[in-house]
Structure 1
């Protein structure tokens, strides 16, 4: 969600900076980068180490409230091409899941602000025991959709997110935003979703099906 579908990372950064400053600390842009893609409770422990004297649940609630306030004020800041691709997938009847480490109430707020029924289900950070980069979020989403992870395409913008998607066995697509992600044999890298269509997504899936078919093809051996 954050950084892939919508550009809410600046909202999170503003909230983190305000919270640390309220305890007399300084929170830099580099500090903000440490938390991109991380689970909120992991982020809370880092903020505690920087002097925020609140328990983890209180930090998560404060940050979420502050970001939701900004969303209510400014609306959804879509990432280029994300809404268009999502709408095309929905029109084609392809099941979709929102897999985010934001808490469920914020994910629901985003989903409700979209002008069409964008997602069949939501898996949020407070719905899993292990946050990204653990594969649990994507494994949970695939199970809820009733499909094998290797038949799912996961689109991510962060290192924890793409690691989670790869570990779950999905067809992973990296679309870097705040932090660059290098080329890798483990995933496909797109510089943007702008101009990406159902056909591009389908091509990735056809390539995976070809790989599966090759893996299932028995090796022929020459008989003497």
Structure 2
């Protein structure tokens, strides 16, 4: 039998940043945990969905609510941003397989977008280490009125690239990010970092970006998602 034809690459690949391309989720958790300790609160696994993959305002509101502090949410958000930024500036480590996949996409001339819920200050810190040359466009939290899990960031990325979201593949690591990309109409490649992600239509699960390549992304963009691989333990 003749070999099956290799699908063309996706129209574009839209990448989340924290926990997907760079190993910064633990830094965000550290920043939140340290501020929580100041507020006499100890974060546990039950707090993961309120911290990881969430914009700073959401996490600040969660800490404000759970601690009962009289400190303003805006003050807590500023403290979180300052702490996280300093940690990122000192330590940016690419996730396994991230640079190899970005290199393959660059060599194939596939447009890419960085779609982050982090503030522009943090995005630029990461880009100064990772390299801005990998991305056709970058979006930070300030670039849309609403951020993840709202679909606005992924809709904006596709619009800026002049593409239908359905022709793009989004790469995410949290349920919040997956919900955003899925609602925008993207096919989603999910590589869970700390919070498990449930299998669903148009969502493919991998344990690592080391398992992803241009051929897989092309298949995801071309039709229904492949059978999800078992996710690694959270």
TM range (shorter): 0.7 to 0.9
Name 1:70's counterpart in structure 2.
Answer: 87
Name 1:58's counterpart in structure 2.
Answer: 75
State the Cα distance separating 1:32 from its structure 2 match. 3.6
Unaligned runs of 5+ in 2: 1-16, 225-234
Q: Give the secondary-structure state (helix, strand or coil) at the position aligned to 2:146.
A: coil
Name 2:110's counterpart in structure 1.
Answer: 94
Q: Which has the larger radius of gyration?
A: 1
Does the aligned pair in 2 maintain the 1:173–1:188 contact within 8 Å?
yes
1:40-88 residue CA offsets vs partner (Å, 9 max, x unmatched): 21111101113354433332332222122122222x2221111211122
Name 1:184's counterpart in structure 2.
Answer: 200
Q: Give the secondary-structure state (helix, strand or coil) at the position aligned to 1:160.
A: helix
State the Cα distance separating 1:33 from its structure 2 match. 4.3
Equivalent-residue separation in structure 2 for 1:60 and 1:203 (angstroms): 40
Higher RCO (CA 8 Å, separation ≥ 6 residues): 2
State the Cα distance separating 1:4 from its structure 2 match. 0.8
Q: Give the secondary-structure state (helix, strand or coil) at the position aligned to 1:50.
A: helix
Q: Give the secondary-structure state (helix, strand or coil) at the position aligned to 2:179.
A: helix
Name 1:167's counterpart in structure 2.
Answer: 183
TM-score, normalized by length of structure 2? 0.81
Q: Give the secondary-structure state (helix, strand or coil) at the position aligned to 1:139.
A: helix
1:128-148 residue CA offsets vs partner (Å, 9 max, x unmatched): 222211111100111111111
Equivalent-residue separation in structure 2 for 1:38 and 1:23 (angstroms): 20
Does the aligned pair in 1 maintain the 2:85–2:121 contact within 8 Å?
no
1:164-185 residue CA offsets vs partner (Å, 9 max, x unmatched): 1111011111111101112222
Q: Give the secondary-structure state (helix, strand or coil) at the position aligned to 1:173.
A: strand
Q: Give the secondary-structure state (helix, strand or coil) at the position aligned to 2:170.
A: strand
Does the aligned pair in 2 maintain the 1:102–1:124 contact within 8 Å?
yes
Distance change (3 Å), C-alpha of 1:58 and 1:180: same
Does the aligned pair in 2 maintain the 1:20–1:50 contact within 8 Å?
no
Does the aligned pair in 2 maintain the 1:89–1:198 contact within 8 Å?
yes
